[in-house]
Amino acid sequence: MNFFEKLENGIIFRENGETVRITAWGADSLRTESVFLGDIPEDNAALLPAEKTDVVVTIGEWDAVLVNGKITAELKVQEWGHALQITYKNEKGDVLLREVSNGGALQKRARYFRYIGGNNFYLKASFEGAEEKIYGMGQYQQEVMDLKGCNLELAHRNSQASVPFYISTRGYGFLWNNAAIGNVHFGSNTTEWEAQNTKKLDYFITAGDTPAAIEQNYMNAVGKAPMMPEYGLGFWQCKLRYFNQQQVIDIAEEYHKRGIPVDVLVIDYYHWLRCGDWRFDEEYFPEPEKMVARLKELGIETMVSVWPQVDARSENYPEMKQQGLLVRSNQGVDVQMLFHGNNSFMDATNPRTRKYVWDKIKKNYYDMGIKTFWLDEAEPEYGTYDFEQYRYHEGEVTEVGNIYPREYSRMFYEGQKEAGQDDIVNLVRCAWVGSQRYGALVWSGDIFSSYEDFRKQICAGLHMGLAGIPWWTTDIGGFHAGDIRKPEFKELLIRWFQFGTFCPVMRIHGCRGPQEQIVDKKGEVREWTGAPNEVWSYGEENEKIMTRLIGVRTMMKDYIRDVMKNASENGDPVMRTVFYEFPADKNTYDLTDQFMFGSDILVCPVVQPGAVKRSVYLPEGASWTNAHDGKVYEGGQTVEMDAPIETFPVFLRDGKQEYLIGQI
């Protein structure tokens, strides 16, 4: 019997209706695909075309071996049932990852396909459990660093972004190259990946000696972020919501008067009349060109919120419905979100939709000088996350749903590129593999103003960086339930502001209380506006602290620019786990509340209410200079640091970035 066939750059296995193909996919990396009946389709959810590498393939009667640099795939046909088991090893022969065996009489399947209709299947891929720690996978709202033992939904929700790539301490990275809704279970006995609706199994695995080497192989395979624009390096001012033109101008002028630098000022949602109009409401923004021009005079970029919802009353709804540019419900009424009306979502997976919507955006925003956009609701946020109810141009949501936020970012990025813009960054509430290529700056969604949620964001940002999304941020202070009159919220805001100073982008936002209701001239109740959220809104002492931190951010621009360049050219995260820089120090692998900002700055936010001290672990392999007072500590120890409200622990690696000493 001939189970195996050699390819130019890989190998194929065939047995009883299943076809498995393993292909070299860039340096030290392999792509594995499988189908049950039929030929392997040449579609690709996330991987870019790969340069060919020198591979070595050896074929026997019952086994085969494929070697691509530092990674080896060993294929063995088991005698009972002729099931194929694949083992991945590094160049030393150590096992990185192994499929489960069929178990003899148990007749288990490492690649299990269950027919559901058409050419589609439910799929489960199973691997043996191993002693390892796992990091990445995108943004999940949990205070957990090591994901071993976690069950994760492979789907997007408001504040959840599934980006299915992880790094293992065993020395490999793994991408589930499948956009289907599903789950992954990182169990102690097995790791199991599930897709609800798919045509094939498809994953990418890469080997490396360090987390950085693994990350860079992955980013070469899926693409890197462009260079962050200059206005992305400083401070961004935002709140829910500046609801009229004069308010925007007044806030910008007040910051200028106080000498506090602002790089971007954000105009939030419902500056329009109906979702899907994609233009300013003339009642509240009668001369938006003059507003944008005034902010430009003050050195401030204007950002506007964009929603993918289309209200049934929108001026664009009839044409978009007739042209098939909206997400369709498989049954029932096409109302996918109830919010100030009955809304459907524009279908970002449809190229005709992307052109139609961008043309509206260009005419009504871009041509008046607005060059950066806030792409809200990007999951998209269905009224109920019953994914089987919805269909995109690209297919059933259960099969392809996770690409939506990437295609949403793509719509704007390609439109801006076509218009001649090079420095592109757009704020977006969700992402998938490849979103980084389209200038996507992800923020962590509508989280609560609590210390619990604050701590979760640190973990989320670190996992997002490892999953390949280097541009990431949060609403400083949280989004929901922050009351500007309460001392406990002011304390939380300051601690969050300190953290935000060292996020990839520094942006304050939130739905602050108490709120004010808005009623237009026709008597229609509009979306309300929150309490003031500018740095002077929280008292003189807090203004001093925040203003000083904005100054620190401004002072760091040269350093931040270099870190962003590194992310763009090499694929390294901006906000990094400590073990990314110090992989030999095993004490760094479980740190949930401290991180590296670039390679030289160790950031240790205060994340407990009322705390004025905190413990800090200083990684072995460097000396550490306290940015507050200049005192030097040797690495490999835990130190107890004072942290009164006006400051927090920040350390400089081997004395670098010494200009920060005394500033924090």
Write out the catalytic residue numbers.
376, 379, 446
Q: Which residue is listed with tokens 């139609």?
A: 356
- Tokens at residue 261, please? 């630098």
Q: Could you give the CA distance from residue 583 to residue 581 in angstroms, rounded to a whole number?
A: 6
CB 205 within 8 A of CB 172: yes
Pairing outcome for strands 440-443 and 426-428:
parallel
Q: Which residue is listed with tokens 């490849």?
A: 434
Show Cβ contacts of residue 422 under 8 Å, excluding neighbours closer than 6 positions.
Answer: none
Angle between helix 557-570 and helix 540-555 axes, rounded to 10 deg: 50
In 502-566, DSSP assigns E strands to 506-508, 512-513, 516-519, 525-529
Q: Could you give the CA distance from residue 147 to residue 150 in angstroms, rounded to a whole number?
A: 5
The string of DSSP codes covering 20-58 is: EEEEE-STTEEEEEEEESSPPP---SSPPP------EEE
- Pick from 593, 597, 575: which is nearest to 638 by CA? 593
Q: Could you give the CA distance from residue 470 to residue 474 in angstroms, rounded to a whole number?
A: 13
Adjacent-strand bridge partners of 35: 19
Q: Residue 658 burial (CB < 10 Å; 0-12/13-18/19+)?
A: exposed
Longest Cα–Cα distance of the chain, Å, equals: 82
CB 94 within 8 A of CB 168: no
Pairing outcome for strands 637-642 and 613-618:
antiparallel
- Tokens at residue 571, please? 């694929």
Exposure string of 281-308, with b = 16+ CB inside 10 Å and e = fewer, is beebbeebeebbebbeeeebbbbbbbbb
Collapsing DSSP to helix, strand or coil, 367 comes out as: helix
CB 458 within 8 A of CB 605: yes
CB 655 within 8 A of CB 623: yes
